[in-house]
């Protein structure tokens, strides 16, 4: 483990000695924890500030997709294949719940938010209810792995336990904690969260598989014979999880991965669109798209690039193992970072004040050789909760839940 001298040397070399300002006030236990945190800083991330550049993009083309009518036509065939895989226990689900949910501004993990009006209905509960539909159809529980972060792990576990796992079989639930990354101010200086703690935040949703393996869950996947993992975001309360038709369509087409998508309603809509880039699956953010590309039309008059991703992906475990050692692109993101100032006062910024470093799952999709876009009805499967009010909010999700006859 780092000694104080080693920490001083490394920090000095990087012009970051300021983080030791309160070192002498710490207990020896706190000092040891702080030194270990300093030893584990990923300095490479810092070199990316101001240089984020995806480089030249490749050539885009339309991805393989099954639209709603085609899915309806093949529904029974896809469902049969999916149900077979699920019955054999080859499909697991991973809930990405390590995010900070800062936009919602709720003190507990986002999944603990109550969207109910006249009764309790928590976000986690909505997700479990949705998964239970498949469990009931298949006749067996589906392994569910929940990714938390060190900031919300205990609160998440306690919440599930206190609510009896919302009726799920706890033997099929396992948790793992994602990695953290340091946060810096706009001049690249490390921020302190406490006098003996660097400000850190979860390292984005793209690190999930690496963190899962680090937690020793690779063995669990292997011993259970899991071949497919459906990962999904915590915040979409209408999310269909381990959907047999989706699983079946991906398997039937021989794809490495599948992505649930919704149809873009107008050319400039703000969503990440699924494309092929130099023949490989790729997600292009709305702000990365040229006007021509955003407005291009297919022969039938519909938008050519029309499928937006909703953070619900199915990955082949074999393929995940092939790519797990490949480095994911690190995104430098502006965020509000709570910290202490030079006098040790706690500051909770109301505006972004620095950068976090994040890995994103959409970059994993690009590492797949093939991916099927599987269209779903927005009104039935997409009710994300990012904010309290307005777009993608508790309010809009409540409306959508009601439209789907879910009692609040």
Q: Which residues bind ligand UTP (CB under 6 A)?
A: 96-103, 147, 178, 202-205, 233-235, 311, 386
Which residue number, 158 or 407, has a Cβ lying nearer to ligand UTP?
158
| Nearest CA-CA partner of 364 in 275, 282, 250, 265 | 282
| Nearest CA-CA partner of 305 in 315, 322, 320, 290 | 290
Which residue number, 20 or 181, has a Cβ lying nearer to ligand UTP?
181
Which residue, judged by CB position, is nearest to ligand UTP in the bound state? Answer: 99
Separation of alpha carbons 247 and 88, rounded Å:
13
Q: Tell me the sheet residues that pair with 356.
A: 333
| Nearest CA-CA partner of 338 in 44, 45, 105, 8 | 105
Least distance (Å) between residue 335 CB and ligand UTP: 7
Least distance (Å) between residue 36 CB and ligand UTP: 21
- Three-state SS annotation for 241-265: CCCHHHHHHHHHCCCCEEEEEEECC
Helix axis angle for 28-39 and 4-13, nearest 10°, is 40
Least distance (Å) between residue 97 CB and ligand UTP: 5
Least distance (Å) between residue 102 CB and ligand UTP: 3
CA-CA-CA-CA torsion sign (120, 124, 125, 129): positive
Which residue number, 263 or 336, has a Cβ lying nearer to ligand UTP?
336
Query: Which residue in this structure is represented by tokens 């490749």?
Result: 58
Which residue number, 103 or 189, has a Cβ lying nearer to ligand UTP?
103
Least distance (Å) between residue 308 CB and ligand UTP: 14
Least distance (Å) between residue 78 CB and ligand UTP: 26
The answer for residues whose C-beta is within 8 angstroms of residue 335's C-beta and 6 or more apart is 102, 183, 201, 352, 354, 355, 356
Q: φ, ψ for residue 31 (rounded to 5)?
A: -60, -45
Which residue number, 361 or 368, has a Cβ lying nearer to ligand UTP?
361
Which residue number, 35 or 237, has a Cβ lying nearer to ligand UTP?
237
The answer for residues whose C-beta is within 8 angstroms of residue 119's C-beta and 6 or more apart is 407, 408
Which residue number, 205 or 259, has a Cβ lying nearer to ligand UTP?
205
Least distance (Å) between residue 21 CB and ligand UTP: 28
């Amino acid at each position: 483990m780092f000694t104080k001298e080693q920490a001083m040397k490394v920090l000095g070399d990087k012009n970051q000695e300021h983080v030791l300002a309160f070192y002498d006030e710490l207990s020896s236990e706190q000092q040891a924890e702080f030194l270990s945190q300093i030893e584990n800083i990923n300095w490479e991330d810092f070199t990316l500030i101001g240089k984020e550049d995806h480089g030249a993009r490749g050539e885009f083309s339309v991805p393989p997709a099954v639209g709603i009518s085609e899915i309806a036509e093949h529904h029974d065939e896809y469902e049969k294949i999916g149900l077979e895989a699920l019955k054999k226990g080859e499909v697991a689900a991973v809930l990405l719940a390590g995010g900070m949910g800062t936009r919602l501004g709720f003190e507990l993990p986002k999944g603990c938010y109550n969207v109910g009006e006249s009764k309790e209905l928590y976000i986690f509960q909505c997700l479990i209810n949705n998964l239970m539909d498949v469990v009931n159809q298949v006749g067996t529980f589906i392994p569910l792995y929940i990714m938390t972060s060190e900031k919300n792990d205990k609160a998440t576990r306690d919440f599930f336990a206190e609510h009896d796992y919302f009726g799920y079989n706890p033997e099929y639930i396992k948790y793992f904690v994602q990695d953290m990354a340091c946060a810096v101010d706009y001049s690249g200086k490390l921020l302190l969260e406490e006098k003996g703690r660097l400000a850190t935040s979860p390292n984005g949703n793209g690190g999930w598989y690496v963190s899962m393996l680090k937690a020793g869950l690779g063995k669990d996947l292997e011993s259970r014979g899991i071949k497919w993992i459906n990962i999904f975001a915590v915040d979409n309360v209408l999310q269909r999880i381990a959907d047999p038709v989706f699983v079946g369509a991906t398997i039937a087409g021989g794809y490495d991965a599948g992505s649930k998508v919704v149809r873009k309603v107008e050319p400039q809509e703000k969503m990440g669109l699924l494309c092929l880039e130099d023949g490989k699956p790729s997600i292009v953010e709305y702000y990365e798209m040229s006007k021509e590309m955003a407005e291009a039309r297919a022969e039938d008059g519909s938008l050519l690039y029309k499928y937006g991703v909703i953070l619900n992906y199915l990955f082949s475990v074999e393929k995940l193992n092939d790519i797990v050692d490949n480095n994911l692109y690190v995104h430098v993101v502006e965020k509000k970072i709570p910290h202490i100032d030079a006098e040790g006062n706690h500051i909770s910024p109301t505006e972004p004040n620095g950068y976090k470093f994040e890995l994103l799952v959409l970059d994993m999709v690009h590492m797949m050789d093939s991916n099927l876009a599987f269209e779903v009805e927005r009104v039935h499967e997409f009710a994300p909760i990012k904010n309290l009010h307005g777009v993608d909010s508790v309010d809009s999700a409540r409306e959508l839940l009601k439209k789907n006859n879910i009692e609040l």
